[in-house]
Structure 1
Amino acid sequence: MHALQKLLLFCVLAGFRGNALGSEIINGKKAKEKSMLYMASVQSKAGHICGGFLISEDFVVTAAHCDKWKPTSVVLGTHHLNKLNETMRYSVKKCKHPSYKEVGSGNDIMLLKLSVKAPLGKKGLIKPIKLPSHKMKLKDNKKCQVVGWGMTSTKGEVENDLREVEVPVINLEKCQKLWKNKLPSNVICAGGYGTKKGFCQGDSGGPLVCDKQAVGVVSFNNNDVCDYPDVPNVYTDVSKYLPWIKEILKKKNC
């Protein structure tokens, strides 16, 4: 395995501590109640492992590397992981991108097909988020949001309440230089470098939201100390995978 890929995989694995795995939002705030009705908790038999986001009544998007922890279901319709009931849980079929090999090589995106259709709009608790309509290039320093559950500081306590933080988009050429030209293709950089805000190890599969669209999927960073990251956070660029996503949505199968 390439040395960078080993490092990235180590960084992802390093964040999975304690009973609750998954996203860790740094220097953020609690999300407003019913403000992010698309958020999904991707779960294994052991509990929460990754974030995700609903894009239709049948499908949730998450990161392909979350497959390593054997997801079996997703939970929809709550901002609070300590307030769940089984009516919120949906078993899933995994549709991992066919070109994905490991987190450092890119294509870190996976769709999860729900066993039954989500009741959109029911009690105002579940609503999909829009995807970009075409390939796009985000403006430098554009303010977007990353969303998730979990720790709020390095080696901190797990949060049960959904949290969000605003992060600036970082020029991809600059990001490549900061990463020593070792980034995979089809990524977006936002947060981490030059700010105390972003995601941390274990924050996987959640959305990067710009102008009310899910433009990125949390993929990896490069520092086990999450308070002061030294390189930008990296997301899979959703707009680069639209044909693949649309084909699956059309067939309703992978």
Structure 2
Amino acid sequence: MVLYAFLLLLGISLAGGMESGIIGGKVSKPHSRPYMASIQVENKHHTCGGMLIREDYVLTAAHCLNRSAFSGRGNFEVVLGAHNIHQDEKSQQRIKVLKYIQHPKFQSDNTEKDYSYDIMLLKLKNKAKVNKFVKVMPLPKKNGKTPANVKCSIAGWGLTTPKGVEGSNVMREVTLILQENSKCKESWQHYFNSERMICSVSDGKHAFCQGDSGSPLICNTKPQAIASYTYNGSCVNKTYPQVYVKISHFLPWIKKKIG
């Protein structure tokens, strides 16, 4: 059985749905996260989050490209400097994506996907103009360990309730607590890789949800991971931790690709 089917049977929801979501959080202070990107498809539909890591590169989740919504890749755009993504704010920069660079180990023979490699670079057609609304987020410098019980935050545009239908117009953020790797492994079995992944546990009220794939998990002001997947049907499920791909593990790959 391919991994995707197994994930659905387990109840995993890939967090990059056409709805987006931050559950139990608060509205972000406008432009307080100038590195954030809204990845959009035709008709300006937000589908994933991302992070500006160089003027011409955004880091996000690899599975965002595999969704049916991305069949029209020519309409794939990144919006930077946004607070309200349903308004044409003067601070916004809308830039088309020139090239998609999925990690080569994410997908094998178009069948089984390894979500411990759920990471992708987007090469922008034009360089972003760095200003007070749009800034590059420096990557972590080395592959270090992120301890459990640390409070981290994640932001995005979307659902404010687990069973909502439409996402929030404005960026929202939530604080989450990292879970021990052993407990992540216990829940997700061999689909959780301790070397390449970390996870957070929901208290039943706070979580990231569909549409926040690719959004960076920020711990102590530094980006530590990229949101990958959560539990299907209830993003605030307490039994199954929410899973992220560690950025630090992929630093050599990222640096090789962006030069």
TM-score bucket (shorter structure): 0.7 to 0.9
The match for 1:188 is 198
**In 2, Cα distance between the equivalents of 1:242 and 1:165?**
26
Deviations 1:89-146 (A, max 9, x none): 111121111111155542000010111111112xx11001121100011111000001
The match for 1:235 is 244
Tell me, yes or no, if the aligned pair for 1:129 and 1:212 is still in contact at 8 Å. Answer: no
* Secondary structure at 2:13 match in 1: helix
The match for 1:83 is 87
The match for 1:197 is 206
Tell me, yes or no, if the aligned pair for 2:216 and 2:226 is still in contact at 8 Å. Answer: yes
The match for 1:12 is 13
Is 1:178 aligned to residue 187 of structure 2?
yes
* Secondary structure at 2:147 match in 1: coil
* Secondary structure at 1:129 match in 2: coil
Deviation >4 Å, runs of 4+:
none
The match for 1:107 is 117
Deviations 1:139-184 (A, max 9, x none): 1100000111111112214201101000011111121012234314
* Equivalent of 1:143 in 122, 140, 151: 151
Is 1:51 aligned to residue 49 of structure 2?
yes
Cα deviation for residue 82 of structure 1 reads 1.2
Tell me, yes or no, if the aligned pair for 1:28 and 1:165 is still in contact at 8 Å. Answer: yes
**In 1, Cα distance between the equivalents of 2:152 and 2:15?**
26
* Secondary structure at 2:54 match in 1: coil
Deviations 1:168-208 (A, max 9, x none): 1111112101223431451111132x452111233211110
**In 2, Cα distance between the equivalents of 1:57 and 1:238?**
18
**In 2, Cα distance between the equivalents of 1:22 and 1:239?**
28
For structure 2, list consecutive stretches of 5 or more residues without a partner in the other structure: none
Tell me, yes or no, if the aligned pair for 1:8 and 1:104 is still in contact at 8 Å. Answer: no
TM-score by length of 1: 0.87
Tell me, yes or no, if the aligned pair for 2:15 and 2:209 is still in contact at 8 Å. Answer: no
Between 35-44 and 224-233, report the one with greater CA deviation.
224-233
Tell me, yes or no, if the aligned pair for 2:115 and 2:191 is still in contact at 8 Å. Answer: no
Tell me, yes or no, if the aligned pair for 2:160 and 2:168 is still in contact at 8 Å. Answer: yes
The match for 2:162 is 154
**In 2, Cα distance between the equivalents of 1:168 and 1:234?**
12
**Code of the aligned partner of 1:100:** F
The match for 1:97 is 103
**In 2, Cα distance between the equivalents of 1:50 and 1:94?**
14
Larger proportion of strand: 2
Cα-Cα RMSD: 2.2
Identity of aligned residues (%): 41
* Equivalent of 1:35 in 21, 32, 37: 32
The match for 1:62 is 60
